[in-house]
Amino acid sequence: MKLRTAAIGVGYMGRFHAQKLAALEASGLVAVADASEARAKEVAGELGCAAETDFRRLLGRIDAACVAVPTERHHEVVGACLDAGVHVLVEKPLARSVAEADDLLARARAKRLVLQVGHLERFNPAFRALAAQPGRALFIDIERLAPFKPRGTDVDVVLDLMIHDLDLVLALARAEVEGVSACGFRVLTDAIDIANARIEFADGCVASVSASRVSQSAVRKLRVFRHDLYVSADLQGHSLRNVRRAEGGVSESEARFERTDALAVQTDAFLRAVRENSAPEVSGEEGRRALDLALRVGELIRKRLERVAP
């Protein structure tokens, strides 16, 4: 049987979520909901489903929802869905605060519901191949640069872009965070637009994470150094380059991956977790860890800016 689904919030990202829910075989898209009646009707008309301006009217009519409302409404909307027995895939970040995230996790556990967080890079084929390689990471270097766009400036660059890579670092390091230092600056908005964080883990792994939303071109590069191995992943170009120490020198190999619709893969994984009553690939707990680390980085940057402000 198809799961009865809905997309709540159909702005830029939410519209894509609605399209995937309409296209996937496991999903029967019941409706889309958006505070803008015109927007809701436009997307509903494209996809042949109902339109609502109040998501609460959907509760009791759906089994699962993709939530892409502004971050400040995540706790309200996701919490109401969970209380009504609806499984949720929510765009990152999970919530505004760790306290809100913990409350959502508790509600999901109480109802035994799937709560998945939309860290889309986990479904990038180049990252999946890298993460499947054996061995402990010694040093991780991630760079994510993007041209300026007014969309998304309701949060700073740490919660807008860097949080993706903080999640990847946590997935690769698989150890407790022992220390964090960070710096960043405001450039084109009143929030942090460029940031760098250094994260030290209990097992000795160190990660350097850089993010900018005021760059001239888009870059998504990830480098991982292991014992006798260096791996470079181009997350935008879907390629992986391995350099190994070999007898008499080094050996190199490169793999290129077919470009996939990561959002469709993510949505399908969410629906599969709901159907099979299994843990999602990016759980609420993992989303909470990424949020906690992102908030720590943001707070360190803001305190540093207070000290160096003219």
Q: Of 32, 29, 16, whose CA–CA distance to 262 is shortest?
A: 16
Could you give the CA distance from residue 266 to residue 271 in angstroms, rounded to a whole number? 9
Quote the pLDDT of residue 310: 61
Beta strand residue intervals within the chain, DSSP E: 3-8, 27-33, 50-52, 64-67, 87-91, 115-118, 139-145, 177-185, 194-201, 206-212, 219-226, 229-234, 239-246, 249-256
Quote the pLDDT of residue 189: 86
Mind listing the pLDDT tens digit of every residue in the chain (310 residues)?
899 999 999 999 999 999 999 999 999 999 999 999 999 999 999 999 999 999 999 999 999 999 999 999 999 999 999 999 999 999 999 999 999 999 999 999 999 999 999 999 999 999 999 999 988 999 999 999 999 887 656 678 999 999 999 999 999 998 999 999 999 999 988 889 999 999 999 999 999 999 999 988 889 999 999 988 999 999 999 999 999 988 878 899 999 999 899 999 999 999 999 999 999 999 999 999 999 999 999 999 999 998 876 6
Quote the pLDDT of residue 221: 94
Query: Domains of the chain (ranges plus CATH)?
Result: 3-113 (3.40.50.720), 121-259+294-308 (3.30.360.10)
φ/ψ bin of 269: left (φ > 0), alpha (ψ from -120 to 50), beta (otherwise): alpha
- pTM equals 0.93
Residue type at 17? H
Q: Do residues 21 and 87 lie in contact, with contact meaning Cβ atoms separated by under 8 Å?
A: no
